[in-house]
Amino acid sequence: MSQIRLKDINTRAPAEIDKDVTKYETSKVLLELDQLQNMLFAENKHSVLIVIQGMDASGKDGLIRNVFTSMNAQGVHVKSFKTPTTDELSHDFLWRAHLHAPPSGMIHIFNRSHYEDILITRVHKWCDDETARKRMKAINDWEDLIFQHNSTQILKFYLHVSPEEQQKRLKERIKDPTKMWKYNASDFKEAKL
C-alpha cells in the first residue's frame, strides 16, 4: 500500500470546475439525498455513518450545514468529537464513538471522529507506533462490527485545506461575529503541528 502525502495534493478546485454549475448540480443531488433518507428511515434496516475529518477551519461545519439541513432532522444526528471528557478517558478509546453509532434507519455524522485518537495522539507524540497500529486495527474491527451488526454503511470524507487558507479562516474567527463562537486560541498552535 502506498502512502498518501497530503502536502502533494492540491487543495484548489480544478480550473475547469464552474462554481455556479457545481452549486446547481449539488442542489439536485440534495433533493435525491432527501428522498433516499426517507426510504432509509421508512425501511429501518440499514444505517449510515458519515465521518468527516479535516484540520481546524477546513469547512466541516459548513459542509454539514450545507448538505444535511436539507434532510429531515428526525433522521439525522451530528456528533462533534471534542477533547475526551474524564468519563470518556476512563473507557477504551472507541467507547465514545460506539455510543453514537447510528441505529437502523438513521444517518449519523461524526464531525471529527474515532480517528482523532490516532491522529492527535501521534501528532503530540502521546502514542507510540505500536499503540497506533493496535488502535487502527481496533477501528477496522469496530467499523466491521457495526457494518455486520446493523448494516451500517460508512462514508469517510477528508476536507483538505492549505496551511495558508487555514490561517486565513482561523483569523476570520477573530473578526467575523458569526464565527467568533469557533475561536480557540490554541487552534493557531495546533495548526503548526
pLDDT of residue 188: 60
Whether 167 has a pLDDT exceeding 70, the answer reads: yes
Instruction: Specify whether the backbone of 105 is left (phi greater than 0), alpha (psi in -120 to 50) or beta.
Output: left
In this predicted model, which residue has the larger pLDDT, 95 or 182? 95
Residue 9 included in any domain: no
- The whole-chain average pLDDT of the chain stands at 89
What digits encode the pLDDT tens for the residues 128-154? 999 999 999 999 999 999 999 989 999
CB 123 within 8 A of CB 76: no
Contact call for residues 22 and 126 (beta carbons, < 8 A): no
**Is 189 a domain residue?**
no
The answer to whether position 63 is within a domain reads yes
**What domain count does the chain have?**
1
Long-range Cβ contacts of 122-131 (<8 Å, 24+ apart): 123/193, 124/193
What CATH code is carried by the domain that includes residue 34?
3.40.50.300
Q: Is residue 173 part of a domain?
A: no
Q: What is the pLDDT of residue 76?
A: 96
pLDDT at 163: 80
Residue 131 lies in a domain: yes
pTM for the full model? 0.85
DSSP secondary structure, 6-39, as one string: GGGS--SPPTT--HHHHHHHHHHHHHHHHHHHHH
Q: Please check whether residue 187 lies inside any domain of the structure.
A: no
- Does 151 fall in a domain? yes
Map residue 55 onto helix, strand or coil: coil
Range of the domain at 31: 17-161
Q: Is 10 part of any domain?
A: no
Question: pLDDT, tens digit, for every residue of 76-124?
Answer: 999 999 889 999 999 999 999 999 999 999 999 999 999 988 988 888 7
